[in-house]
């Protein structure tokens, strides 16, 4: 019989704590139910195994380097403990102390949350992916090593856990097996938030140990602050891109649009996830067409950071979160705009509109709103001439967690879709009860070693299943279908899923944003705006 | 014996009140945190589908109408119903509910005993023969809550032990403290049940003990009742060291975190509260942290944003 993993196993020396068994993953529906074409999760090479700590599940998301000596091991443990102390002090962690304490101190260990976790369910209920597993680890470490009577009461409270470098490294990796989607928190009657605890673990690693995935930190927030964008696009390249987009809009639609950049005193500063300009330029193009046609007074910014709405800090680091949010606000203040509108990017919505809200004080506190309410307002007020019969194909909506569950923006995007699409259908569940795309909390960006395969095989599995089930009656490749995923990160994840599972070839399911559907339905644009070409 | 029980009961009540208030004050005085809303937010008019004021165009120009009472009533109602367990974890709920009810009712019993004793001191007869309606009401409510508590609590405690032990996953997350708590509460409920069934079927002795408590005139009780009273007092002394305060803490977890959607408008109360913490120096040690600088300095500070390195 297979040995079950316990909490204290996390400290146990072994080659690999859990082996991911593809036989136990939840099955996918037609046309994937019999083929058993499970994605092989690449095993790390011997060199990678020697270099990186991956003994949790054979996956390496962060790339924690193995210590070379006992001194390095002790140093890691020491730094972790010092970070742990800071995590529970008002001075160092005022930003999340109260939510963290409430979530750590009052869990009843009923495990009700497990059933809400898409990763735990999709993985065939692997114990280490249970939402409470990593929370319980932190709780027990804190109780034993930080509480005054911790070592005396360790046995009684069940917090008898050994803290060694392996425990720490595995905990760090484990913090990147949760997309922070917070479905688990939603079902907890005590208000315990395992997603928050996961983020706090990430924060401890980043802010004290200096350990974070390079895609989020070095090539993420740091690159954004230094070069201007996490994509590596500097202000000059951004301006080039805008010129290119102006030309492309003209070619596609015949409309000659002069995109306003750095216009002082405009009503709206529009900020996109800069990834859109490079991966899906049709998305900002559609925005620009809509804004111009609706006659809005708006501008883009070409300032460093000002043209990239992303804020990866919201996933792992309060300092980086604050730096970027403050920078965005300062740019808006200098432009003297009246409000900031965030494009189709879920985490940028949450980071700038809610999470960073209380860091923005005085004249940096400029109103920020979602593009969905603005677009809904434009459509409801009849500022665009629309013909929904131009979108005559089945459309479903993927709800980005950050926009629904973390912000409560649920209906505007539905009103828009009902107005511009003639065959809109909901997923089940949807709205605030939706499933994460599997790329949340930065997962879409983590491209090192074998993590992308884990992401497609496990964290995105339920979303893929849900999409296939939503279109089950029209799944044949002869009928084109559209998943509206109004978030760059979700789109990136869906793109990876669709490529890995060859969804376009087998089912003709396409993905894209919401504004593309609006532009495609605009009566005065003769040629189809949507180009059914999977990228 | 009466003096010992009286002293123990006084000490237990004082201790638990002090400890609970201390904990509540500790949470209430914690710094304002960054927002971490989770929808549906119950006080929102759009809570039915999980909508928020962010769905309004230019939301900051619209009046905010919070129905806090709706949130509070939801939490109170859920304390009695445990809705999420009912919908998602029925096998757990079926034992948890009677266990919870046992606990809620035993607290209610003691509150009723206090007021009933006060009524007795004021000359009211608390019995089924009482000519006064209030006297009768006290009599029957004490009897019903007492018996209800002991029966529900005993069944719930036994059920929770069985559930924890029989479910492999629940067992893995349980500690010796969990089982100690179940058995401790079981002892309290069973001793109460014994007293009611064998020695004090109308709780007259118990009411007299309470009358003695509030008049500082300790009363002796039969050994079985003494054991129950002592166990309950010991339970009160022990509870602050457990997670029992979640009944109260839920209000913080929901109202102050999950449903805390108060926007930071210019000149608002929240802006004033946050200001102090924004002037707090940073003291984390990673290379990208400008240790010693303030949060407010982060607007312009890029010098410490770290090096781009390849791993």
Quick: pLDDT tens for A450-490: 999 999 999 999 999 999 999 999 999 999 999 999 999 99
- Chain A: residue nearest B279 by CA? A91
Burial of B56 (0-12, 13-18, 19+ CB in 10 A): middle
Which burial class, exposed, middle or buried, applies to A1 when counting CB atoms under 10 A from its CB (0-12, 13-18, 19+)? Answer: exposed
Nearest chain B CA: its distance from A27 CA (Å): 22
Tell me: do A128 and A197 sit in the same domain: yes
Looking at the partner chain, which of B33, B44, B84 has a beta carbon nearest the beta carbon of A408?
B44
Helices within chain B (DSSP H only): 2-28, 68-81, 83-88, 90-121, 133-166, 168-173, 176-194, 204-214, 223-238, 246-251, 269-278
Same domain, A153 and A111: yes
Q: What is the pLDDT of residue B311?
A: 43
Contact assignment for A207 to B265 by CB distance below 8 Å: no
Query: Is A527 within a domain?
Result: no
Pair A275, A284: CB distance under 8 Å: no
Contact list in B for residue A431 (CB cut-off 8 A) is 49-50
The sign of the dihedral angle between the CA atoms of B265, B271, B274, B275 is positive
Distance CA A166, CA A76 (A): 10
3-class DSSP state for residue A52?
strand
B252 vs A contacts (CB less than 8 Å):
98, 102
Interface test with A, best of B92, B103, B253 (most A CBs within 10 A): B253
Contact residues on chain A for B176, CB-CB shorter than 8 A: 155-158
HSE-CB at B292 with a 13 A cutoff on CA atoms is 2
C-beta atoms of A111 and B38 within 8 A: no
Domain-located, residue B212:
yes
Distance from CA of B254 to the nearest CA of A (A): 6
**CB-CB neighbors (< 8 A) of B55 in chain A:** 373, 408-412
pLDDT digits (tens, 9 = 90+) for A214-257: 999 999 999 999 999 999 999 999 999 999 999 999 999 999 99
**pLDDT value, residue A344:** 98
Domain CATH for B111: 1.20.950.20
Give contacts of A83 with chain B, Cβ < 8 Å. 284-285
Q: What is the pLDDT of residue B296?
A: 83
Asked if the model's pLDDT at residue A118 lies above 70, the reply is yes
Residue of A nearest to B267 (CA): A362
Q: Tens digits of per-residue pLDDT, A423-435?
A: 999 999 999 999 9
List A residues 135-174 in contact with B (Cβ-Cβ < 8 A).
Answer: 136, 155-159
Tell me the ipTM for this assembly.
0.95
DSSP B140-158: HHHHHHHHHHHHHHHHHHH
Mean pLDDT within A1-19: 86
**A160 → chain B, closest CA residue:** B175
Please report whether residue B180 resides in a domain: yes
Tell me, yes or no, whether A1 lies in a domain.
no
| Mutation target among A322, A408, A434 for the B interface, most CBs of B within 10 A | A408
Q: Quick check: is A394 in a domain?
A: yes
Q: Does A334 touch chain B (CB under 8 A)?
A: no
- Looking at the domain assignment, is residue B308 inside a domain? no
Share of chain A above pLDDT 90, in %: 93
pLDDT score, position B303:
46
Domain assignment of residue A534, yes or no? no
CB-nearest partner of A404 from B39, B88, B176: B39
CB of A225 within 8 Å of any CB in chain B?
yes
Query: Are residues A285 and A340 located together in one domain of the fold?
Result: yes
Provide the shortest C-alpha distance from residue A477 to chain B (in Å).
Answer: 34
A244 shares a domain with A202: no
Count of pairs with CB atoms under 8 A, one residue in A, one in B:
287
How many domains does chain A divide into? 3
Claim to verify: residue A204 and residue A264 sit in the same structural domain: no
Q: Residue B304: is its pLDDT beyond 80?
A: no
pLDDT at A38: 60
Q: Residue B309 above 70 pLDDT?
A: no
Q: What is the pLDDT of residue B79?
A: 87
Q: Is residue A176 part of a domain?
A: yes
Distances (CA, A) of A33 to A26, A28, B36: 10, 5, 39
Residue A267 and residue A127 share a domain:
no
Contact A102 B310 (CB under 8 A): no
CA distance A292 to chain B (A): 18
Chain B environment of A367 (Cβ under 8 Å): 58-60
Three-point CA angle A46, A50, A54, nearest 5°: 90
- Does A167 lie in the same domain as A32? yes
Chain A residue closest in CA terms to B246: A106
User: Within 13 A of B287's CA, how many CA atoms are on the CB side?
Assistant: 10
Q: Residue A71 domain-assigned?
A: yes
Mean pLDDT for the stretch of residues A504-520: 97
Q: Provide the terminal-to-terminal Cα distance of chain B, rounded to the nearest Å.
A: 72
> Which residues lie closer than 8 Å to A49 by C-beta, 6 or more apart?
none
Element at A278 (helix H, strand E): helix A275-279
CA distance A195 to chain B (A): 11
Same domain, yes or no: A434 and A361: no
CB of A356 less than 8 A from some CB of B: yes
Asked if residue A437 and residue A328 are part of one domain, the reply reads no
Q: Which residue of B has its CA nearest to A99?
A: B257
Q: Which of A8, A90, A102 to mutate to test the interface with B (most CBs of B within 10 A)?
A: A102
Asked if residue A531 belongs to a domain, the reply is: no
What tens digit of pLDDT does each residue of A346-387 get?
Answer: 999 999 999 999 999 999 999 999 999 999 999 999 999 999
* A193 Cβ under 8 Å from any chain B Cβ: yes
Q: Is A369 close to B57, i.e. CB distance below 8 A?
A: yes
pLDDT, tens digit, 9 for 90 and up, residues A75-88: 999 999 999 999 99
Domain shared by A95 and A54, yes or no: yes
Domain that includes residue B7, residue range: 2-33+82-244
| Within a domain: B114 | yes
pLDDT digits (tens, 9 = 90+) for A127-154: 999 999 999 999 999 999 999 898 899 9
How many angstroms separate the CA of residue B172 from the nearest CA in chain A?
Answer: 6
| Rounded average pLDDT over B126-153 | 94
Nearest CA in chain B to A80: B285
Q: A233 vs A240, A307, A311, CA distance in Å?
A: 10, 10, 15
In terms of C-beta density within 10 A (0-12 exposed, 13-18 middle, 19 or more buried), how is residue A326 classed? buried
Please tell me the distance from the alpha carbon of residue A115 to that of residue A252, in angstroms, as a whole number: 47
Q: Average pLDDT of chain A? A: 95
Domain end among A331, A359, A376: A376
Range of the domain at A458: 385-521
B244 contacts in chain A (CB < 8 Å): none
Q: Kindly report the pTM of this predicted structure.
A: 0.95
**Mean of pLDDT values over B105-117:** 95
Contact A359 B265 (CB under 8 A): no
Q: Among the listed ranges A31-35, A115-119, A199-203, A417-421, which one has the minimum average pLDDT value? A: A31-35
Question: How far B79 CA lies from chain A's nearest CA (Å)?
Answer: 9
Given an 8 Å threshold on Cβ–Cβ distance, is A323 in contact with B284? Answer: no
How many distinct structural domains can be found in chain B?
1
- Rounded Cα gap, residues A432 and A428, in angstroms: 11
C-alpha B280/C-alpha B294 separation (Å) is: 6
Farthest CA pair distance, chain B:
87
Q: Chain A closest CA to B230's CA: distance in Å?
A: 23
Chain B hits for A112, CB-CB cut-off 8 Å, are 84-85, 88-89, 92
Nearest CA in chain A to B285: A208
DSSP β-bridge partners for residue A370: A342
Residue B46 predicted with pLDDT over 50: yes
Alpha-carbon gap: A439 to the closest alpha carbon of chain B (Å): 19
- Residues A13, A62, single domain; the answer is yes
For residues B159 and A47, give the distance between their C-alpha atoms in angstroms, rounded to a whole number. 52
Query: Is 80 exceeded by the pLDDT of residue A502?
Result: yes
Residue B286 is assigned to a structural domain of this protein: no
Per CB-CB distance under 8 Å, the chain B contacts of A218 are 306-311
Angle, CA A221 vertex, CA B282 and CA A287 arms, to 5°:
130
Is the separation of the CB atoms in A99 and B33 below 8 Å?
yes
Are residues A111 and B253, on separate chains, in Cβ contact within 8 Å?
A: no
Contact assignment for B258 to A218 by CB distance below 8 Å: no
Q: Is-contact B236 B16, C-beta < 8 A?
A: yes
Looking at the structure, tell me whether residues A182 and A300 fall in a common domain: no
Look at residue B228 in the predicted model and tell me its pLDDT: 96
Does B65 or B290 have the greater pLDDT score?
B290
- The answer to whether residue B96 is domain-embedded is yes
- Where does a domain end: A334, A357, A376? A376
**What pLDDT, on the 0 to 100 scale, is given for residue A3?**
65
Inspect the interface and report whether the beta carbons of A326 and B299 lie closer than 8 Å: yes
Tell me, rounded to whole angstroms, the distance of Cα B218 from its chain centroid: 30
Cα A446 from Cα A202, distance rounded (Å): 14
**A219 touches B at CB < 8 Å:** yes
Please check whether residue A377 touches B, CB under 8 A: yes
Which of A376, A400, A434 lies at the terminal end of a domain, its last residue? A376
Q: Is residue A51 part of a domain?
A: yes
Q: Are A326 and B298 within 8 A, CB to CB?
A: yes
Convert the pLDDT of each residue in A479-498 to its tens digit: 999 999 999 999 999 999 99
Given CB atoms, is A84 within the 8 Å cutoff of chain B? Answer: no
Q: Which residues does chain A have within 8 Å of residue B287's beta carbon, measured at their own beta carbons?
A: 210
pLDDT band for position B310 (50/70/90)?
Answer: very low
Which of A191, A208, A342, A446 to mutate to test binding with chain B, by most B CBs within 10 Å of its CB? A191
Per-residue pLDDT tens for B179-228? Answer: 999 999 999 999 999 999 999 999 999 999 999 999 999 999 999 999 99
Please indicate, yes or no, if residue B145 is contained in any of the structural domains: yes
B39 and A407: CB-CB below 8 Å?
yes
Which residues between 393 and 452 in chain A have a beta carbon less than 8 angstroms from any beta carbon of chain B?
404-412, 431-433
Whether the Cβ atoms of residue A366 and residue A327 lie closer than 8 Å to each other? no
């Amino acid at each position: 019989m297979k040995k079950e993993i316990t909490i204290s196993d996390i400290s146990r020396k072994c080659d690999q704590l859990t082996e991911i068994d593809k036989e136990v993953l939840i099955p996918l529906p037609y046309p994937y139910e019999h083929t058993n074409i499970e994605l092989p999760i690449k095993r790390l090479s011997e060199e990678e195994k020697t270099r990186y700590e991956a003994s949790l599940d054979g996956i390496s998301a962060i790339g924690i380097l193995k210590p070379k000596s006992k001194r390095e091991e002790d140093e890691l443990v020491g730094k972790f403990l010092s970070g742990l102390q800071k995590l529970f002090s008002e001075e160092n962690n005022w930003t999340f102390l109260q939510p963290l304490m409430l979530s750590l101190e009052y869990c009843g260990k009923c495990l009700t949350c497990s059933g809400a976790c898409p990763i735990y369910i999709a993985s065939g209920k692997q114990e280490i992916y249970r939402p409470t597993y990593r929370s319980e680890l932190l709780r027990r470490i804190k109780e034993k090593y930080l509480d005054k009577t911790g070592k005396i009461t360790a046995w009684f409270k069940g917090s008898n856990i050994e803290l060694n470098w392996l425990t720490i490294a595995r905990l760090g990796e484990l913090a990147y097996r949760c997309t922070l989607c917070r479905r688990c928190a939603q079902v907890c009657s005590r208000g315990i938030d395992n997603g928050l605890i996961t983020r706090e673990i990430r924060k401890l690693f980043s802010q004290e140990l200096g350990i974070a995935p390079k895609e989020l930190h070095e090539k993420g927030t740091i690159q954004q602050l230094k070069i201007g964008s996490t994509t590596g696009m500097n202000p000059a390249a951004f301006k080039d891109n805008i010129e290119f987009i102006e030309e492309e809009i003209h070619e596609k639609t015949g409309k000659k649009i002069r995109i306003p950049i750095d216009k002082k005193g405009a009503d709206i500063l529009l900020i996109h996830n800069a990834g859109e300009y490079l991966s899906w330029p049709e998305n900002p193009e559609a925005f620009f067409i809509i804004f111009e046609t609706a006659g809005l007074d708006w501008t883009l910014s070409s300032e460093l950071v000002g043209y990239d709405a992303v804020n990866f800090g919201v996933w792992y680091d309060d300092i980086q979160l604050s730096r970027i949010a403050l920078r965005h606000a300062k740019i808006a203040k200098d432009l003297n705009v009246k409000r900031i509108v965030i494009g189709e990017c879920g985490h940028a919505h949450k980071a700038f509109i809610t999470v960073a809200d209380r860091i923005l004080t005085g004249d940096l506190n400029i109103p920020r709103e979602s593009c969905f309410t603005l677009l809904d307002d434009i459509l409801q007020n009849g500022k665009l001439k629309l013909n929904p019969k131009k979108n005559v194909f089945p459309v479903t909506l993927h709800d980005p967690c950050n926009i629904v569950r973390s912000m409560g923006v649920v209906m505007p995007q539905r009103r828009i879709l009902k107005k511009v699409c003639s065959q809109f259908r909901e997923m089940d569940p949807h709205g605030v009860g939706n499933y994460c795309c599997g790329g949340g909390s930065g997962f879409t960006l983590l491209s090192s070693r074998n993590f992308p395969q884990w992401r497609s095989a496990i964290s995105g599995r339920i979303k893929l299943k849900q999409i296939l089930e939503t279109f089950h009656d029209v799944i044949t490749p002869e009928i084109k279908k559209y998943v509206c995923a109004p978030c760059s990160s979700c789109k990136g994840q869906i793109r990876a899923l669709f490529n890995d599972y060859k969804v376009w070839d087998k089912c003709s399911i396409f993905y894209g944003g919401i504004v593309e559907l609006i532009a495609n339905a605009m009566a005065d644009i003769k040629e189809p705006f949507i180009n059914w070409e999977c990228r | 014996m009466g003096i010992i029980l009286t002293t123990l009961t006084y000490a237990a009540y004082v201790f638990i009140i002090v400890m609970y208030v201390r904990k509540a004050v500790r949470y209430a005085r914690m710094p304002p945190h960054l927002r971490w809303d989770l929808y549906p937010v119950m006080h929102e008019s759009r809570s039915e589908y999980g909508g928020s004021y962010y769905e309004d165009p230019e939301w900051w120009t619209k009046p905010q109408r919070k129905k806090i009472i709706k949130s509070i009533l939801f939490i109170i109602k859920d304390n009695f119903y445990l809705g999420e367990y009912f919908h998602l974890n029925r096998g757990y709920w079926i034992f948890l509910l009677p266990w919870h009810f046992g606990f809620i009712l035993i607290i209610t019993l003691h509150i009723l005993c206090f007021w009933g004793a006060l009524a007795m001191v004021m000359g009211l007869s608390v019995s089924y023969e009482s000519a006064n309606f209030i006297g009768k009401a006290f009599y029957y409510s004490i009897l019903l809550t007492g018996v209800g508590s002991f029966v529900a609590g005993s069944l719930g405690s036994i059920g929770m032990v069985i559930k924890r032990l029989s479910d492999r996953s629940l067992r893995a997350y349980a500690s010796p403290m969990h089982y100690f708590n179940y058995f401790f509460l079981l002892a309290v409920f069973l001793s109460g049940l014994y007293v009611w069934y064998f020695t004090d079927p109308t709780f007259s002795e118990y009411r007299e003990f309470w009358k003695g408590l509030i008049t500082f005139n300790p009363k002796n009780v039969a050994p079985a009742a003494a054991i129950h009273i002592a166990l309950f007092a010991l339970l009160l002394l022990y509870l602050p060291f457990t997670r029992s305060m979640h009944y109260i803490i839920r209000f913080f977890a929901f109202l102050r975190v999950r449903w805390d959607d108060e926007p930071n408008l210019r000149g608002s109360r929240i802006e004033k509260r946050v200001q102090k913490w924004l002037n707090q120096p940073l003291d984390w040690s990673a290379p990208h942290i400008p240790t010693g600088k303030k949060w407010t300095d982060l607007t312009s500070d890029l010098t410490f944003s770290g090096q781009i390195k390849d791993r």
